[in-house]
Structure 1
């Protein structure tokens, strides 16, 4: 998960002490949730400042996959900018909000996301039927 500044440059907490720019850790985005910089305190300038500040914070942090990760980086940016008047963004809330509010960039992106999982499930079900 990453967050763009107002120029469309994606910032991603991609690993320990590293926040990438337009080079996400797991490849190009397959889904996106279009947020509005106008909902940030001080609008676009506040948005950009919050994304930059969150990135500077996370450049000094160890990446912990289940606790302090890319979702946490995005949540920190949203908290700093007080997005939508809310200061309780967290990685779990973001993960759940991505379900109803996000869109796939293409049908191919949808397949890239779900096809490997469906193949594994089908394989397990096939093995279960044999046994």
Structure 2
């Protein structure tokens, strides 16, 4: 299968599914080990620095979310979701998610009608679309973002990952957004290796030093103001004008 193209969905699933009243129960099969060399990060969020943008603001990057088999999915352009071809370079940081925190905290609620929706998020979760499996939820987000225009400031890779987590109702929450995804990676993420740290911060250090030498403290102040404005934009768009940013 060519890299970067969506595969035809295999009807065979990695789950044993049993009906129990209005719920559908799943026995989770064990995940493979994380293997950065093969670009396999089962059920992980992954992060890589963005060219130019991360040179000025190293806390900003490009993110993706991985299927159970480890394939990376990332929203990298208008009407396009990459598969197994992580845009902007290899993953530098990752955090593995716990599948047991999917399924509304227990097991996936998949009722025959809205009135039978039993999780605490009820109708809101039904609007997003409940999922039978982890990969099923991700595929629903892929189909949704195939009709979305990419915009670094309003609809980007963080929006796609947040949408996936909301469809999963991960950790029992339907409030995943860009800031929450960024915070999860920042505070829980692990570096792939030492060179990933160098690749992520060396360009910023070089730009900072050159700017300081050639321009002086005015460059440092300008750089700080750019970072502050970006932070304020995403905070306001996430928590004050909630229709501004996609999630």
Same fold (TM over 0.5): yes
Query: Structure 1 residue 25 and structure 2 residue 87: aligned?
Result: yes
Larger radius of gyration: 2
Aligned to 2:69: 7
- CA apart distance, 1:50: 1.0
- CA apart distance, 1:97: 2.1
Counterparts in 2 of 1:9 and 1:45: CA distance versus 1, 3 Å: farther
Contact 1:4/1:11, CA 8 A, preserved across alignment: yes
Counterparts in 2 of 1:71 and 1:95: CA distance versus 1, 3 Å: same
Structure 1 CA distance for aligned equivalents of residues 77 and 86 of structure 2: 10
Contact 1:33/1:98, CA 8 A, preserved across alignment: yes
Contact 1:104/1:110, CA 8 A, preserved across alignment: yes
Provide the secondary structure at the position in 2 that maps to 1:29. coil
Aligned to 2:212: 125
The size of the alignment, in residue pairs, is 129
Provide the secondary structure at the position in 2 that maps to 1:2. strand
Structure 2: which 5+ runs fail to align? 1-62, 109-130, 218-247
Structure 2 CA distance for aligned equivalents of residues 116 and 81 of structure 1: 36
Structure 1: which 5+ runs fail to align? none
Deviations 1:31-90 (A, max 9, x none): 111111221114795311111111111111111111111100000000001000010000
Contact 1:40/1:46, CA 8 A, preserved across alignment: no
Larger RCO (CA under 8 A, 6+ residues apart): 1
TM-score by length of 1: 0.92
TM-score by length of 2: 0.50
Relative to its length, the structure with more helix (as a share) is 1
Provide the secondary structure at the position in 2 that maps to 1:92. helix
Aligned to 1:63: 150
Contact 1:6/1:37, CA 8 A, preserved across alignment: no
